[in-house]
Amino acid sequence: MTAPVTPVPPGPAGSTAPPWALLAELTHACPLHCPYCSNPLELTRRSAELSTEEWTDVLRQAGELGVVHTHLSGGEPLLRPDLERIVAAAEAAGIYTQLVTSGTGLDEARLASLTAAGLRSVQLSVQHADPRAGDRIAGRPSSFAAKERAAALVRAAGLPLGLNVVLHRDNLDAVDALIELGVAWGADRVELANAQFYGWGLLNRAALLPTRDQLARARETVERRREHLAGRVDLVWVVPDYFEGVAKPCMGGWGAVSLTVAPDGTVLPCPAAASLPDLSPPTVRDRPLAWIWEHSAAFNRFRGTDWMTGPCGGCPRREEDFGGCRCQAFALTGDAARTDPACALSPDHRLVREPADAGRAVVPPPYVYRRPGAVPPAAPVRPARAADG
């Protein structure tokens, strides 16, 4: 995820600058089954979800804490029958709302009631420019058609429309057609985010990992189209960190810019952090959001630069990339405090370089689609072991 804000100088020494943004995962239920889903492998049951009143209180607290932006996401947030009330609660708290949806279940009446509640913008996921390929990647028939209808409704309602595309082996060659789709559907912004490999994405890495050639062609296309579309459609390219030798500034720093509230009220520094086994993340059911942000061990664990190990410690880039992604460091090395292996300076860099440069099977393995029970909780995906040193 890209940092949603213009950076501003940090607050006075010793104080924790307030968060700008909140990702509200309203539910993990979803009609789609994308194999790179950013939800954790262990999905939260619907019976454990926060109530309307609890979300209302979370958003009120978030506004008081300094949050100005929220992504109302999931799973599929439209599956919450109280979504209108949650939008209204965000609006009442002064928070700008962005609905992140698959488009399935959005009709004219629903959009009208959401807009009346104060919804400000919509982001629609798109899996491929070709309807059949899109439905195959999403694991749901007719999902592409639902997206096309949803895009038209959003435009007719006059709301800003963004398309969110996760790029991987199966759709990178269609990047030109995806951009064209964004233009045809009237999008203001198209986010082309190369797949990140933890959680579901790591489970499906052998199927999703592109080749360097594919990436080079896609990048060239994006740069060419960006020039043509300047001032009309904002094209955002989120870098494929396995291939760059440079770690991404994940979340703009741990506990620096934004927080994630999971469906059951667990509060995380990023949506993937549920994968860290010893984080003991706090929950809004036990603690005020301000305490969680400022004082919880989970949010202070990797805040700033003091925790850094290995090459990060003295690195001139440590304030730019914040050591990269903690969840990727854990997923690949078993130690969340190590330098992100995506960085060429990491002693574990081979853990991304080798798969990135390995030959690809002509026929990729089938997807493990994201659905409850796809990965038995008793047999979690084991992190690969790091090399010593």
Partner 1 sequence: MTPRTADRWCPALAPALLLRHDPVRGADLLVLPERVVVLQGHGGAVVGLCDGTRTVSGIVGELAERFPGAPVAATVPAFLDSLRQEGWLK
Choose the stretch contacting partner 1; rule: CB under 8 A; options: 61-69, 217-225, 306-314, 372-380: 61-69
Nearest CA among 151, 145, 216 for reference residue 187: 151
* Residue choice 31, 54, 92, 96 for contact with partner 1 (CB under 8 A): 96
Parallel, antiparallel, or unpaired: how do β-strands 21-25 and 267-268 relate? unpaired
The correct pick among 77, 103, 134, 162 for binding partner 1 (CB under 8 A) is: 162
Q: How many residues bind partner 1 (CB under 8 A)?
A: 25
d(CA 58, CA 41): 25
Place of tokens 């940090």: 10
Under rule CB under 8 A, residue 5 binds partner 1: yes
Q: Is 34 one of the annotated binding-site residues? A: yes
Helix (H) / strand (E) element for 191: namely: strand 189-194
Q: Is residue 75 a contact residue for partner 1 (CB under 8 A)?
A: no
179 is an interface residue for partner 1 by CB under 8 A: no
Window contacting partner 1 (CB under 8 A); options: 65-73, 202-210, 259-267, 369-377:
65-73
Identify the residue among 94, 141, 313, 365 touching partner 1 (CB under 8 A).
94
Site string for partner 1, 12-41 (x = CB under 8 A): ------x-x---------------------
Query: Both tokens of residue 150?
Result: 């949803």
Q: Identify which of residues 69 and 147 has a Cβ nearer to partner 1 in the complex.
A: 69
* 294 belongs to the binding site for partner 1 (CB under 8 A): no
Helix extents (H) in the chain? 52-65, 83-92, 108-117, 131-138, 143-156, 175-184, 200-203, 205-208, 212-229, 241-244, 289-295, 297-300, 318-321, 326-333, 350-357
Q: Which of 12, 81, 158, 366 lies at the binding interface for partner 1 (CB under 8 A)?
A: 158
Q: Shortest CA distance to 93 belongs to which of 69, 122, 77?
A: 69
The number of CA neighbours under 13 Å toward the Cβ of 70 is: 34
Rule CB under 8 A: is residue 186 a binding residue for partner 1? no
Minimum gap (Å) between residue 60 Cβ and partner 1: 14
Q: Among 115, 121, 211, 300, which residue interacts with partner 1 (rule: CB under 8 A)?
A: 121
327 in a labelled binding site: no
**Binding status of residue 4 toward partner 1 by CB under 8 A:** yes
**356: helix, strand or coil:** helix
Backbone angles phi, psi at 121, to 5 degrees: -160, 165
**Closest to 339 in 3D by CA, of 317, 312, 319:** 312
- Told to check if 189 binds partner 1 by CB under 8 A, we report yes
Torsion 325-328-334-340 (CA) sign: negative
Token pair, residue 11, equals 């607050």
Find the part of the chain contacting partner 1 (CB under 8 A) among 82-90, 119-127, 197-205, 241-249.
119-127
Residue 62 Cβ vs partner 1, minimum distance, rounded to whole Å: 11
Quote the CA–CA distance of 302 and 287 in Å, as a whole number: 20
Q: What are phi and psi of 169, to 5 degrees?
A: -50, -35
**Could you tell me the two tokens for 332?**
């690949």
Q: How far is the CB of 153 from partner 1 (least distance, A)?
A: 16
Point out which span in 90-98, 212-220, 247-255, 267-275 binds partner 1 (CB under 8 A).
90-98
Residue 142: which region, alpha, beta or left (left: phi > 0; alpha: psi -120 to 50)?
A: left
Q: Near partner 1 by CB under 8 A, which window of 5-13, 143-151, 306-314, 339-347?
A: 5-13
Asked if the bond preceding 75 is cis, omega within 30° of 0, the reply is yes
**How many angstroms separate the first and last alpha carbons of the chain?**
30
Give the nearest distance from C-beta 83 to partner 1 in angstroms: 18
Tell me which residues in 191-250 interact with partner 1 (CB under 8 A): 231
Q: Which of 98, 214, 339, 346 binds partner 1 (CB under 8 A)?
A: 98
Q: Is 30 annotated as a binding residue?
A: yes
Give the annotated binding-site residues for [4Fe-4S] cluster.
30, 34, 37
Residues near partner 1 (CB under 8 A): 2, 4-6, 8, 18, 20, 64-66, 68-69, 94, 96, 98, 120-121, 123, 158-160, 162, 188-189, 231
